[in-house]
Amino acid sequence: MNYIDSSLKVVGSRPIRPDGVDKVTGRAIFAADTRAAGMLWGKILRSPHAHARIVSIDTSKAEALPGVRAVVTAADFPEIKSEEAFVGEGPMNFRDLALNCMAREKVLYEGHALAAVAATTQEIADQALGLINVTYEVLPHVIDVDEAMAPGAPVLHDDMFTAGVDPKPTKPSNIAKVVTFKKGDAEAGFVDADVIVEGRYTTQPVHQAYIEPHACLATYASDGQVHIHSSSQGHFMVRAYTAKLLGIDMSNIRVNPAEIGGGFGGKTLVYLEPLAVALSKKSGRTVKMQMTREDVFRGSGPTSGASMDVKIGAKKDGTIVAAKQVLKFQAGAFAGSPIGPGCMCGFAMYDLPNVDVVGYDVVSNRPKVAAYRAPGAPITSFAVESLMDELAIKLGMDPLTLRQKNAATNGTKTHYGPTHVNIGYTQVLDAVKAHPHWKSPLKPGQGRGLATGFWFNIGGESSAQVHVNEDGSITAATGSPDIGGSRASIGMMVAEVLGVPATSVRTIVADTASIGFTHVTGGSRVTFATGMAATQAAEKVVEDLKSRAAQIWEIPFEAVEWKDGKAYPAGSNAGAFDPLDLASLALKAARTGGPIIAEVSVNAQGAGAGFGAHICDVSVDKETGHVKIERYTAIQDVGKAIHPSYVEGQIQGGAAQGIGWALSEEYIYNAKGQMENAGFLDYRVPVASDVPMIEAVLVEVPNPRHPFGARGVGEVPIVPPMAAIANAIRGATGLRMPDLPMSPPKVRAAFDAAG
């Protein structure tokens, strides 16, 4: 069914989330909060070198230390062949995943895991790590993306021959692949242009910086059954990856999803679980592992840093006639940066006749990148939306008008192939124009920036169950870990269909043995895809309840209608019966066919792309180079806000992460390729005093492919901030800041350079 034009009672309201009380009282169980009798503590030995050959690993002294029960190295894991997988978010090569979890032959970045121990206490485990004797042959390393691409750069993988070029290169390099997207004829387009702008932009890798470090508890029983308790964006992903890396059947692994303390894409792959299982197998004991914050920075995440060249040509009236972009994305130590989305998203907001985009996926001696909120899109959009601002200035045109003039609409064919359908970009731009922030005069010394952003959003496989319990209360179960309030949105959709209050539905996240396969919580897919499964399951339950009432009343199924949580005879012809509520129907369940439940699994299609526009006012301290965000408004097409507070929260949180990416977050490496700021003191994420209130404006252009019109909302809001802030700084100071982060030293240097 489709409820887009129905009057809704629950969807669109703001009830308290089902898991709320547990989370404000400290009762919610996150990954590190579980322990088991007799458990061991697992710890990881990490490489101090950015690039080195492992000559030998001697673990004998560590193994001899009293209290040490197991030591594992790559020798304890099956060697995995190169094989592409699509279980997490985006492509993943199983061989690379295995080598990232446990180095074999070479370490490829500082922090690369190469051995692990399990001991009776944390202190003994730490001591044991110090007793593992590794002989390294240190190799030259490379950190920067342009340097990694240069001839003569240290090569990380001697079997990496650039894919996507013909003929295949004869020599290995750090360029994993080249991708190209073309529409029309960009070179011919530039000939027609009245105005051409060009720019070179760089962004730094930034970490997802979830506050909960990765953690897990794993048991390998003597009958080969494995139980894992961990926090991730997908416990089915944990099961699949652990099974693959250890050669265990999936049916022998049960993964229990702990509460997850933030992920943002960074928990769509495994680091600890296969190691903990291997240690448990070797020791015969349950093993607990948890990363330190330093481990998180040195050994997990981040997203790519990039170097980009962009060129845009337009007519005097602002019509863009040609656009070109070259993107070089750091993948970290293994191939697989989000270069594809990077190439697609930059120009996706615009209806352009001629586009030419080339992207490079480049490895270097840094941690392997992981997904981070709209992977690739914020990076490419920083470049494109900064240059759009330059174009507006050069044309003497308002930046909003320039975007409206070139805006993608339904039917616009993108440069990467698909045609936009059911999108709300122009409505978002209209909302910018109508917003008081856009119309308000700027205060002296301040600058205002506008930038927009796009993300595909995805659907995919999800499973949901709806149970009418014996007393008529409702439990909804799904396979989607709840990172940001999805229990609430799922429960609300179920409640709406059943005609009961939101608080009558208890939503839970079921483990891998208790519900059908469900893809990760990523790609802004849960409210869309899992919501679709849950809605359909609730509809099946309603059909079932109606048939039970028909049986009890001995009238045809068609003569029963369901409203406000009760079965009614449909009109006087159906007979005069008192309505039957959920409790009455549940009471009679045994006599009318048994338990009342439904499980629905879907492969949801038609996620509905999202667009956002951010307006930002800044002031800049010329003496210190400090940029202060004075006012911030984030406008986004959300399709339909199921729980508006949590939709606003996604937008505000994404904007704040973007503010950090723009102004303060970066990895600082020393000459040896070691990270020098692996902690929250020196890797500066925004704190409460760094940001103002962030006004989230919800534009609702319904997505017809979802029963309630929802489209994904979690990723779009991190796309526009960096350019919005850069454009605001340009407005305030006249300085174009092409390199992130726009931190005080950089801004100060830009003032100095400008004289």
Which residues bind to another protein, rule: CB under 8 A? 14, 16-17, 19-30, 32-33, 35, 123, 208-213, 259-264, 290, 292-293, 483-485, 643, 645-646, 648-650, 652-657, 679-681, 685-691, 693-694, 696
Which of residues 202 and 657 has its CB atom nearest to another protein in the complex? 657
Minimal distance, residue 216 CB to another protein, in Å: 15
Minimal distance, residue 131 CB to another protein, in Å: 18
Minimal distance, residue 546 CB to another protein, in Å: 35
Minimal distance, residue 200 CB to another protein, in Å: 30
Residue 744's identity, in one-letter code, is P
Buried b (16+ CB within 10 A) or exposed e, 7-31: ebebbebebebbbeeeeeeeeeeeb
Place of tokens 């969807």: 11
Which is nearest to 212 in space by CA: 23, 376, 18? 23
Burial of 5 (0-12, 13-18, 19+ CB in 10 A): exposed
SS3 labels along 339-385? HHHHHHHCCCCECCCCEEEEEEEEECCCCCCCCCCCCCHHHHHHHHH
Minimal distance, residue 22 CB to another protein, in Å: 8
Which of residues 680 and 751 has its CB atom nearest to another protein in the complex? 680
Buried b (16+ CB within 10 A) or exposed e, 648-665: bbbbbbbbbbbbbbbbbb
Which of residues 542 and 641 has its CB atom nearest to another protein in the complex? 641
CA distance 359 to 163: 12
Q: Is the peptide bond before 91 cis (omega within 30 degrees of 0)?
A: no
Minimal distance, residue 649 CB to another protein, in Å: 6
Which of residues 309 and 690 has its CB atom nearest to another protein in the complex? 690
Please give the distance of CA 640 from its chain centroid, rounded to a whole number.
20
Please give the distance of CA 288 from its chain centroid, rounded to a whole number.
26
Q: 516 near 479, Cβ under 8 Å?
A: yes
Q: 251 near 536, Cβ under 8 Å?
A: no
Which of residues 636 and 652 has its CB atom nearest to another protein in the complex? 652
Query: Torsion-angle region of residue 270: left (phi > 0), alpha (psi -120 to 50) or beta?
Result: beta
Give the Cβ contact number of residue 602 at 10 Å.
22
**Could you give the count of Cα atoms lying within 13 Å of 690 in the half-sphere of its Cβ?**
18
Which of residues 33 and 430 has its CB atom nearest to another protein in the complex? 33
Which of residues 413 and 506 has its CB atom nearest to another protein in the complex? 506
Which of residues 172 and 649 has its CB atom nearest to another protein in the complex? 649
Which of residues 434 and 687 has its CB atom nearest to another protein in the complex? 687
Contacts of 150 (CB under 8 A, 6+ apart): none
Which of residues 39 and 97 has its CB atom nearest to another protein in the complex? 39
Minimal distance, residue 648 CB to another protein, in Å: 7
Q: 119 near 125, Cβ under 8 Å?
A: yes
Buried b (16+ CB within 10 A) or exposed e, 708-741: bbbbbbbbbbbbbbbbbbbbbbbbbbebbbbbbb
Which of residues 484 and 673 has its CB atom nearest to another protein in the complex? 484
Minimal distance, residue 33 CB to another protein, in Å: 4
Burial of 471 (0-12, 13-18, 19+ CB in 10 A): exposed
Minimal distance, residue 412 CB to another protein, in Å: 31
Which of residues 6 and 121 has its CB atom nearest to another protein in the complex? 121
Q: What is the DSSP letter of 259?
A: B
Minimal distance, residue 691 CB to another protein, in Å: 6
CA distance 538 to 722: 41
Minimal distance, residue 237 CB to another protein, in Å: 18
Residue 752's identity, in one-letter code, is D
Question: 455 has which bridge partners?
Answer: 610
Pairing of strands 505-509, 52-58: unpaired
Distance in angstroms between the alpha carbons of the first and the last residue of the chain: 64
Minimal distance, residue 211 CB to another protein, in Å: 4
Minimal distance, residue 187 CB to another protein, in Å: 43
Rg, C-alpha atoms of the chain: 27
Which of residues 213 and 608 has its CB atom nearest to another protein in the complex? 213
Minimal distance, residue 437 CB to another protein, in Å: 15
Q: 291 near 216, Cβ under 8 Å?
A: no
Which is nearest to 267 in space by CA: 113, 372, 111? 372
Which of residues 231 and 536 has its CB atom nearest to another protein in the complex? 231
Which of residues 678 and 728 has its CB atom nearest to another protein in the complex? 678
- The token pair that represents 703 in the structure block: 């997505």
Minimal distance, residue 643 CB to another protein, in Å: 8
